[in-house]
Amino acid sequence: MSDGLEGVVTAETVLSSVDGAAGRLVIRGRSLDEIAGRMSFEAVVRLLFEGFFADLPEESGLRRRLGAARAEVFRDIAALDRRLTTLTDIESLRAYTARFADGDDLDTALRLLAAPAVFTPAMVRVRRGLQPLAPDPTLGQAADTLRMLTGGAANAGRAAALDTYLVTVCDHGLAASTFAARIVASTRAGLTSAVLAGLSGLKGPLHGGAPGPVIAMLDAIGSSERAEGWMTAALARGERLMGFGHRIYRVRDPRADALKAALKRLDGGDPARLALAETVERTALALLHARRPERRLDTNVEFYTALLLEALGFPPDAFTNVFAMGRTAGWIAHAREQLATGRLIRPEARYVGPTPRAA
């Protein structure tokens, strides 16, 4: 038995490969640096979906249909249940998504991809006492999301930064959320159910729930001189430093560098915030190394996710939703691949409970 299924191969996939020793991520035959900042989110969605939907259009057609799906989702949001605002953003996105019918077709897939892009800015605006803004179906998903968030057209640099983020997190092997999505897909429940499983898996702080707490940590540390003392005390209390460590990577997560580069390219970024983050990162790595020299713990994707999404104007509570905006593409592709090539996933557990007394 392998605790946490570490090292256990449970599927063959053409979608992505994570080389933890080399710090390399490949998405459908392309390394991360070939696609992040170079291909649009829509182009990468097409790359992931290719072969899994018979009626998949070319990139421009897909962009139009995704824009139309955003418009459809927005019509639904007009009747938003305001009680959703009492939940966290990821809980409310999950509750909203659960209202979609199940299906295995491209329309269902595009509605699921559009949902976090429309719902997240709408929810942020409602919480701020503002009206949700309708999507502009002619824009790409990243530019439109920022426009719906801020109310003004996003400048090209900011839209490109969010595009880079969505591409960077679109798929990542059998992460816990992706495995959950594949398990549900293997029962033939449908794409909505698979995506809901993914959202639930992503929510946890050991997975996609970490970037919000990264901001809380940076705010609590406040200044570079306090970094070592604050983190030493947190580790002494048995806490984990958010944004560090990974099940697969034994070197730096390549996504951290892709996102740090996107952050640095962003005009209007806050140099003092970046300087604090770099000190916190350096100090955290030194402290983690001193505690566990035999287990290399390095920076993961969530550390620079937090800084990039903060710089783009998303509140920390919404960070996991933005992660979901990118990763839904991967969940859908994995769900379709599971249906095409896999069987019902049904492992076994070794029973270690009490034995019944003989009658």
Selecting among 42, 246, 310, 334, the annotated active-site residue is 246
| 100 lies in the site for ligand ACO, by CB under 6 A | no
What is the Cα–Cα distance from 50 to 40, expressed in whole angstroms?
15
Element (H, E) at 16: strand 16-19
**Is 334 noted as a catalytic residue in this protein?**
no
Q: What is the DSSP letter of 18?
A: E
Instruction: Record the tokens describing residue 145, joined without a space.
Output: 């999301």
| Upper half-sphere CA count for residue 219 (Cβ side, 13 Å) | 10
C-beta of 104 vs 310, nearer to ligand ACO? 310
Residue 19 backbone phi and psi in degrees, to 5: -100, 100
Q: How far is the C-alpha of 260 from the C-alpha of 252, rounded, in Å? A: 12
Tell me whether residue 70 or residue 94 sits nearer to ligand ACO (CB atom).
94
Is residue 143 at the binding interface for ligand ACO, with CB under 6 A as the rule? Answer: no
Number of neighbours of residue 18 by Cβ within 10 angstroms? 20
Whether 137 contacts 71, CB under 8 Å = yes
When asked if residue 245 is in the footprint of ligand ACO (CB under 6 A), the reply is yes
Dist CA 86 CA 265 (whole Å): 36
Question: What is the side-by-side strand order in the sheet with 16-19?
Answer: 16-19, 24-27, 30-31
240 touches ligand ACO (CB under 6 A): yes
Q: Does 160 bind ligand ACO (CB under 6 A)?
A: no
302 is catalytic: yes
Q: Which of 340, 205, 225 is nearest to 275 (CA)?
A: 225
Selected from 75, 188, 265, 295, the binder of ligand ACO by CB under 6 A is 295
**Amino acid at residue number 122:** A
- List the one residue from 159, 242, 307, 322 that touches ligand ACO (CB under 6 A): 242
Minimum CB–partner distance for residue 292 and ligand ACO (Å): 6
Residue 150 and residue 116 in contact, taking contact as beta carbons nearer than 8 Å: no
Q: Does 296 bind ligand ACO (CB under 6 A)?
A: no
- Is residue 25 involved in binding ligand ACO (CB under 6 A)? no
Query: Does residue 206 bind ligand ACO (CB under 6 A)?
Result: yes
Residue 297 binds to ligand ACO (criterion: CB under 6 A): yes
Closest CB 244 distance from ligand ACO, rounded Å = 4
Among the listed residues 42, 172, 281, 302, the single catalytic one is 302
Q: Which residue among 116, 121, 208, 330 contacts ligand ACO (CB under 6 A)?
A: 208
Cα angle 17, 321, 250 (rounded to 5 degrees) comes to 35
Return the bridge partners of 26, or none.
17, 31
The site that binds ligand ACO (CB under 6 A) totals a number of residues, namely 21
Scanning 83-91, 191-199, 223-231, 295-303 for contacts with ligand ACO by CB under 6 A, the matching segment is 295-303
User: For ligand ACO, which stretch binds (CB under 6 A), given 44-52, 73-81, 116-124, 204-212?
Assistant: 204-212
Q: Could you list the residues that contact ligand ACO (CB under 6 A)?
A: 4, 205-208, 210, 240-247, 288, 292, 295, 297, 300-302
Catalytic residues: 246, 302
